[in-house]
Structure 1
Amino acid sequence: MVGKSPITNNLCASLKPRYHFSTSNNTFFEREPFFHAPTEAAPDGYPITRFISLASYNNPKKQKWIYAFSIDPTAAPAVVIPPGTTASPLSLSNKKRPTAPSQEFSRFSTDGAYAHRGNKRRRAAPPTPAECFFCLSSPNLATHLITSIGTDAYLTTAKGPLSTSDTYPSLGFPSHILIIPLTHSPTLASIADAEARKNTYDEMQRYRQALHDMLTKLASCKLGAVTWEVSRAGGVHTHWQFLPVPVDSIRRGLVEAAFKVEAENERYPNFETKDVGDGTEESSDFFRALIWAPPSTISGGEADGDDGSAAAKNTSLLLPLDASFRFDLQFGRRVLAKLLGLGGRMHWQDCGQSEEDETADAEAFKKAFKEFDFALEG
């Protein structure tokens, strides 16, 4: 057991700190690092805790009483269980034996679906729709966030949204939206049936266009949007994230620059300006950012071009992903949080809401989107 105090143990289990320090009289002790199982609220990683108990200063046994370490507070949790770690012993305080998490909880694994037990490595069973947080058949689905269900895809509001109802007063609701395929698949390209793949991609694009149409009307062409995706063959259920951004930031090139500069800072490969459609022609995993700006003015349903107004803008940025570097799954959110001055909301875990507030935000979005929701037709 990590500690004798149930209160301390429960606090550590809740906070999931990188390091947990304690003291003892004459003994230094460091146990194996332990991982915390993913949850519905945090399904994309395994927070790791290192427990260290330091001996007292100037102890007679000359045991270690000081410890030096470095820590990067912005580093993302591990997306697979690192070798040499154990399941968290803290859950034992509730007299429940922790179940070693299988790869179904890691939507974007980096080296395949492996789980570790002792010194053995085994292949984890593929997750089923019943174990997926995005499948409509799953008991884990947060149904109160769902705002529209089409034939091949559906919309939900984001849990722990980056934007709030105050971010864009012309909207009046958090407009951080997920566009999710109904098909349980790690990437669009891995949907086996070609017709189903095409229909899914087309409907996701149709939802994206409907969101653009909503912004054009409600924000009077003052808001554009970024839609981003992490496409990994080792994932579980692919999806797109959608967020409005000020149109001026797009037209001045600030959004593109923000993604490229952050990638350079992280020593990622360079972004390419490339439209890959449903991704079937790509030989590697990728991160994609689709950047859209509406026409500056609307006349008769189209942009005016003779008076110097700007036409609609569409840009697709692609970042190839491979095993040569570790990609931060929150990269897209982090870039936009910095760009929008929402650094305090960079981590979605810091943006939790009550279910009542989440439901209210989803209903506000549904009301605004109703006019553009093609799923309601017929």
Structure 2
Amino acid sequence: MMEQKRKILLCGDVEGKFNSLFNRVSTIDKKSGPFDCLFCVGNFFGINNKEFDAYKRGDKKVPIATYILGPNCADHVKLYPEDDSMELCENVYCLGKRGVYTDSKGLRIAYVSGIASKESSDFEYSSKDVMELYNACVRGNASFRGVDVLLTSQWPTDAMRHDSKQINLAINKTSDLPSWLVVKLKPRYHISGLEGVYYERSPFRAPNLGDHDTTLNLVTRFLGLARVANSDKQKWLYALNLTPLDKMKIGELLQKTTDETECPFNFTELDQKIFNTKRKSVGFNQYFYDTNAPEENNDMKYRKKRQKVEFDQSKCWFCLASPSVEKHLIVTVANSTYLALAKGPVVEEHFLICPIEHYQNSLGQPEDVTQEMNQFKEALRKFYDRNGKVAVFFERNYKTSHMQLQAVPILKRATKELKEIFIEEAEGHGLKLEVLDSHNRLDQVLQPNVPYFTVELPDGTLLYTKIKGNFPLNFAREVLVGGPILNCPERSDWKDCILGKEDEKVLVQRLRTDFEPFDFTNEGA
């Protein structure tokens, strides 16, 4: 992992003391570097900025690539480029209003510039900006874990709450918006300035927020950095040596620290305060969202009866008799089950084994359906073996209406530590995958009416977990697309892998031909 590490420097408000900053950075870079870059939070410019002229002319050199946040007051706006150019001088760049800086090794740094306000301006950011920053972080990243660093000039409100240290600081410019971002993005480090003091908070873990929150329960460390060359000699420059979180093992990211505290931020209160979100807790760290819910009379709330949800089988994608089923994906049909290409497959030979009739899960289907599924499983094992591959089968009885057993082939050498990888990834989501003992049956440890997830490994090991609360819908795919197995992390979400209908037809026709020698549904096979 050493070659993946990134060495970066972070500093607080520069306020025009450019010589002090760059001289110190140059010294540290020669002594302890080389460092990849420097990030500045707070006010880069101050009342007197004459020292910067020498750097703009090229008389003096900025020692390493330096990235700064935008202005925090109206007077500084004129000191930033008016056009889209981000370069203030050689080796000094403005990051802009908000965004995600990702370096060549995958280190992700999210940032938002300015002072919080109801409306966004050249030196102010709003709730819309933080929401758009969050969306930029998760967009196209179905297995989003969190970010390595979050930069905000402002401190988050309540940063010192629950801290084990005895801290008594006068903090004036805090905002709820960075607090909300911390809980949503779960940065490993959050760096702020503007307050003129150095403060290193005890680490904490923000809670998981529900079904759509794929972040890990990472430790966050908040740092408030002092002003450059301050007379109190408080720390204003900080060095980090980080391996990007996407390159780290789950166990390393979840490692406990001795001085952890309770999370200082209450997400439910923040979300309601910032976005006027009505939110009902439904168990530990699980929520229903309604951003436009009208206020209800209390009497009416208790008189309302929840309508029973009626299942419309005609709209089931997987019932063979349904007009909604995509029949062009079907490879072959047996008496009670069928084999189909998975929609948005991880790899070309990613199949679904499904019952023809409507059963919600494997534990609720008749024995003859299960036996026929086992025949398909054995046929697929032989089919994959022709190319030196082995099968991973998994079922998710959670937010599905029709039973689907998914089959994904992997190389035999990728089975090394496969059980440990599944168990470790599950722990990263707060789940416990257990091994089914050889003397037990699945229906002895799970019930059909209880949500569950199972995965059968190539060596026959069956792992299972009862789902209580939240479960990442793409969990199995996220594990299989990882580097040690299939090494195609961009394919973790089926929606990002959908083929055109004509391409699906061509692929299925080829799969039918290739699978035919192994197809037990053929007479005389």
Q: TM-score, normalised by structure 2?
A: 0.43
Q: What secondary structure sits across from 1:258 in the alignment?
A: helix
Counterpart pick for 1:291 among 452, 457, 460: 457
Q: Map Cα deviations across residues 275-306 of structure 1 (whole Å, 9 max, x no partner).
A: 665636624432111112xxxxxxxxxxxxxx
Superposed CA deviations along residues 311-357 of structure 1, whole A, max 9, x for unmatched, are xx322112x2243x411121111110113111011111111211111
Aligned to 2:472: 328
Cα distance in 1 for partners of 2:504, 2:185 equals: 31
**Aligned residue pairs: how many?**
251
Correspondence list, 1:310-329, <5 A: 313-318=459-464, 320-323=465-468, 325-329=469-473
For the 8 Å contact 1:188–1:278, the answer to whether it is kept is: no
In 1, the alpha carbon distance for the partners of 2:325 and 2:352 equals 13
Task: Please give the alpha-carbon distance, in whole angstroms, between the structure 2 residues aligned to 1:321 and 1:152.
Answer: 27
| Residue matched to 2:258 | none
Aligned equivalents of 2:481 and 2:344: distance in 1? Answer: 13
SS at match of 1:226: strand
Aligned counterpart for 1:244 among listed residues 395, 409, 412: 409
Report if the CA contact (8 A) 2:211-2:470 is conserved: no
Q: 1:337 aligns with which of 481, 486, 493?
A: 481
Mapped contact 1:230–1:287 kept (Cα < 8 A): yes
Match of 1:100 in 2: none
Q: Is the counterpart of residue 82 in structure 1 residue 226 in structure 2?
A: no
Alignment of 1:143-158 (within 5 A): 143-158=327-342
Would you say the 8 A contact 1:227–1:242 is kept in 2? yes
User: Would the aligned equivalents of 1:149 and 1:155 in 2 still touch at CA under 8 Å?
Assistant: yes
Q: Where do 5+ consecutive residues of structure 2 fail to align?
A: 1-117, 132-174, 187-207, 214-285, 294-300
Q: Residue 443 of structure 2 aligns with which residue? A: 279
Is the 8 Å Cα contact of residues 188 and 279 (structure 1) preserved in structure 2?
Answer: no
Give the aligned CA root-mean-square deviation in angstroms: 3.5
Mark the structure with the bigger radius of gyration: 2
Deviation for aligned residue 1:213: 1.1
1:214-254 CA-partner distances (Å, limit 9, x unpaired): 122x21xx21110001135x74111110001111222xx32
Q: 1:129 aligns to what? A: 313
Verify the 8 A CA contact 1:162 1:346 in the aligned structure 2.
Answer: yes
What secondary structure sits across from 2:511 in the alignment?
A: helix
Q: CA 1:24–1:183 in 2, change beyond 3 Å: closer, same or farther?
A: same
Kindly indicate whether the alpha-carbon contact (under 8 Å) linking 1:162 and 1:348 is maintained by their aligned counterparts in 2: yes
1:247-258 → structure 2 map (5 Å cutoff) = 247-250=412-415, 253-258=416-421
Which position in structure 2 is the counterpart of 1:206? 375
Amino acid at match of 1:332: A
- C-alpha spacing 1:265/1:83, structure 2 compared with 1 (3 Å): closer
User: Is residue 320–residue 357 contact of structure 2 (8 Å, CA) maintained in 1?
Assistant: no
1:25-77 CA-to-partner distances (Å, cap 9, x unmatched) read 9xx999xx9xxxxxxxxxxxxxxxxxxxxxxxxxxxxxxx9944433599854
Equivalent AA in structure 2 for residue 334 of structure 1: E
Aligned pair 1:261/2:405, yes or no?
Answer: no
Instruction: Give the residue type in structure 1 aligned to 2:393.
Output: T
CA gap of 1:291–1:146, structure 2 versus 1, over 3 A, is same
Distance in 1 (CA, whole Å) between partners of 2:407 and 2:292 is 36
d(CA) in 1 for partners of 2:488, 2:497: 11
Preserved contact between residue 188 and residue 238 of structure 1 (Cα < 8 Å): yes
> What secondary structure, in the 3-state scheme, does the structure 2 residue paired with 1:314 have?
coil
SS at match of 1:269: coil
Unmatched runs of 5 consecutive residues or more in structure 1: 1-21, 34-64, 88-116, 164-173, 192-196, 293-312
Matched residue of 1:374: which SS? coil
Aligned to 1:61: none
Match of residue 395 from structure 2: 229
**Matched position secondary structure for 2:423:** helix
